[in-house]
Amino acid sequence: MSITTNTDPREKRPSRNEVFAVTLGAAVEFFDFSAYATFAVLIGNAFFPSHSPVISLLLSVAVFGIGFIVRPLGAIFIGSYADRAGRKPAMFLTMILMALGTGGMAFLPSYQSIGLAAPVLLVIVRMIQGLAWGGEAGPATTYILESAPAGKRAFYASWQIVAQGMAGITAGLIGYLLTRTLTPSQLADWGWRIPFIFGLTILPVAIYIRRNLHDTLENKAEAVKKNTRYLLTDVFTQHRGLIISGIFMLSGSTITQYFLIYMTTYAMNDLHFSSGIAMSSTILIGICVVLFSLAGGWMADRYGRKITIIAPRIILLILFMPGLEIITTYRNEYVFFAVIVLFSALQCISGSGVLVTLCENFPKSIRSTGFSIAYAFGITLFGGTAQFVFSWIIKATGNPVSPGYYLIAANLVCILSAALLKAKAPRTAMLTLNT
């Protein structure tokens, strides 16, 4: 099959060290989202005290979703900024915004200290973080894709997902250590802030590294003449169908990934496992994300994008309900971990194909803008609501297996969208792979 490369072999590409630097920066940004999800129960108690633990949790995950609502704004303004001024300054800007948001999570007073002002300020902090991540995904993924040599685009792009896995591993390790070294009252009072303080100490390093990147956007003098309105008009008139397909293609990938992130809360609230086991699941999922995303990227380059996206999701459709039934029936940590590994492997192999397919189908002149918008709206619609929907479904039905139906529906939409997505015509180069 043929795959568009859009890459001129004579162009000077950033080094592997620079690609790693971008990945590291993305990992630091995603770390905050992983830490929030990991400590959602404790954050809910600190900012939304209630006689009902379920209500506190629902309010906490609702604020988690608020961070997603503003993502499209970050995608529009920072994503288009990357197509006008360059990938490097856009990624530097997102680092600054994330530093502000992380600092807020680390030092924001709780409800007990300042009353109603606490949840209001928490919402503002989450909005700043949402702007940062909404603007980060497009420039960072575009930078990595454009840095890849011919035939390795999907493998390189998969490092963006690896960054998320690295963040999950770190958040899980810190969470596990905290549960082992602090008492429950210490963890609830101030221990949950430690991951955000840790993230705040790493951010200056990531900011410094990004200041010295070699940009992948050529003809900046010509690009800077394009204003945001021009870029958005181009994206929504010429590539509207691709954006819609991308949003729906992201549905299954996003909801499944956020269900895996939600498994820490699921393990504590619904399976009644210890906090140590729950935190261990975050580490395990992070390891799976790293390993199987790289495998998925390699497979997408070797065997093609569509088959790598669709085949694992069909298997997931078959295994969702039996897997969740086994977890809730046996309530054994080893069974729990085995099912998590299986779900994560299939999700991440497919996810790599989704990411690279969506990004590479946009022309380079609007790639950051187009990918940012599709990605941000997809994550906002499906990721931002996922944890709230999972918690609500379980509460409404009283059945811990019930989220499986939502996962099945989302993945059916993903499969259909990927199957209908038209391959983009070659531009400057064609790579032929024997499948």
**For the residues 57-80, what does the mean pLDDT come to?**
80
Place of tokens 């997408």: 300
One-letter amino acid of 384: G
> Mean pLDDT over all residues of the chain?
82
Quickly state the pLDDT bin for 341 (edges 50, 70, 90).
very high
Domain segments of the chain: what residues?
9-422
Nearest-10 crossing angle of helices 40-47, 53-69: 100
Q: Kindly state the tokens that stand for 49.
A: 């005290």
Please list the residues that pair with 431 across neighbouring strands: 3
The model's pLDDT over 136-165, given as tens digits with 9 standing for 90+, comes to 888 889 888 888 888 899 999 999 888 888
What are the backbone dihedrals phi and psi of residue 122, each rounded to the nearest 5 degrees, phi first? -60, -40
What are the backbone dihedrals phi and psi of residue 430, each rounded to the nearest 5 degrees, phi first? -130, 130
The model's pLDDT over 158-206, given as tens digits with 9 standing for 90+, comes to 998 888 888 878 887 888 888 889 888 888 888 889 988 988 887 787 7
Q: Is the pLDDT of residue 12 over 70?
A: no
**Residue 433: other Cβ atoms inside 10 A:** 12
The model's pLDDT over 296-322, given as tens digits with 9 standing for 90+, comes to 999 999 999 999 999 999 999 999 999
CB 383 within 8 A of CB 257: yes
Q: Domain 9-422: which CATH class?
A: mainly alpha
CB 357 within 8 A of CB 44: no
Quickly state the pLDDT bin for 388 (edges 50, 70, 90).
confident
Q: Is the pLDDT of residue 14 over 70?
A: no
Three-state SS string over the chain comes to: CEEECCCCCCCCCCCHHHHHHHHHHHHHHHHHHHHHHHCHHHHHHHHCCCCCHHHHHHHHHHHHHHHHHCHHHHHHHHHHHHHHCCHHHHHHHHHHHHHHHHHHHHHCCCHHHHCCHHHHHHHHHHHHHHHHHHHHHHHHHHHHHHHCCCCCHHHHHHHHHHHHHHHHHHHHHHHHHHHHHCCHHHHHHCHHHHHHHHHHHHHHHHHHHHCCCCCCCCCHHHHCCCCHHHHHHHHHHHCHHHHHHHHHHHHHHHHHHHHHHHHHHHHHHCCCCCHHHHHHHHHHHHHHHHHHHHHHHHHHHHHCHHHHHHHHHHHHHHHHHHHHHHHHHHCCHHHHHHHHHHHHHHHHHHHHHHHHHHHHCCCHHHHHHHHHHHHHHHHHHHHCCHHHHHHHHHHHHCCCCCHHHHHHHHHHHHHHHHHHCCCCCCCCCEEECCC
**Which pTM value belongs to this model?**
0.80
Q: Higher model confidence: residue 53 or residue 111?
A: 111
CB 299 within 8 A of CB 354: no
**For the residues 330-359, what does the mean pLDDT come to?**
93
Q: Kindly state the tokens that stand for 193.
A: 């802030």
Q: Kindly state the tokens that stand for 46.
A: 């600190």
CB 161 within 8 A of CB 351: yes
Instruction: Check residue 1 and give its pLDDT.
Output: 37
Q: Is the pLDDT of residue 379 over 80?
A: yes
Rounded distance, CA 307 to CA 261, Å?
25
Contacts of 435 (CB under 8 A, 6+ apart): 1, 302, 303, 304
Length of the chain as a residue count:
435
Contacts of 79 (CB under 8 A, 6+ apart): 90, 134, 135, 138, 139, 368, 369, 371, 372, 373, 376
Quickly state the pLDDT bin for 224 (edges 50, 70, 90).
low
